[in-house]
């Protein structure tokens, strides 16, 4: 692999972030129609909000995951990723959180545990479209919700920002 190639730059970014607590998420786990990593999002909600999940499960049984994903994606489409991460989303009368921010102090162990339950993901070559095989070089996600896309270009090989657009 060339030291100045795009793949080398991706690897350098990946190594730094994985060492800082990110986890490698495969592009194959990405739901191109919904534009999220559904299993990561559901696992986060189940693990951090068990009481709300159990109440929803009592209502919906085996369809709980699908219903939560429908509500989450509808909320994301309406309110955007940032507002959804900050405030959560409504699902059959329950407010579910899709992220927890660092508590102002360490006095509440439950809030600290929820914050530490956040899952930061890194995906290389994410195929994002249901219509083609186009991919993004690097995508960073929080609890299955993509937030940052990186399209890496190498001016030494003639690539420019115009190539990314």
Nearest to 127 by CA among 27, 3, 24: 27
Quickly list DSSP for 105-129.
SSS-HHHHHHHHT--EEEEEEEE--
Query: Would you write out the chain's pLDDT as a tens digit for each of its 165 residues?
Result: 555 567 888 999 999 999 999 999 999 999 999 999 999 999 999 999 999 999 999 999 999 999 999 999 999 999 999 999 999 999 999 999 999 999 988 888 988 999 999 999 999 999 998 899 889 999 999 999 999 999 887 665 555 555 555
């Amino acid at each position: 692999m060339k030291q100045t190639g795009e793949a080398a730059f991706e690897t350098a970014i990946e190594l730094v972030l994985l060492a800082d607590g990110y986890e490698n998420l495969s592009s194959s786990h990405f739901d191109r129609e919904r534009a999220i990593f559904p299993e990561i999002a559901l696992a986060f909600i189940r693990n951090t909000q068990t009481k709300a999940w159990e109440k929803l499960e009592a209502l919906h049984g085996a369809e709980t995951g699908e219903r939560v994903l429908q509500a989450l994606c509808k909320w994301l489409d309406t309110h955007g990723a940032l507002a959804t991460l900050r405030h959560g989303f409504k699902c059959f009368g329950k407010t579910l959180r899709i992220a927890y921010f660092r508590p102002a102090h360490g006095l509440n162990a439950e809030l600290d545990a929820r914050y530490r339950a956040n899952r930061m993901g890194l995906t290389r070559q994410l195929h994002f479209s249901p219509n083609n095989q186009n991919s993004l070089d690097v995508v960073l996600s929080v609890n299955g919700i993509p937030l940052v896309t990186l399209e890496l270009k190498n001016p030494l090989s003639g690539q420019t920002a115009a190539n990314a657009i």
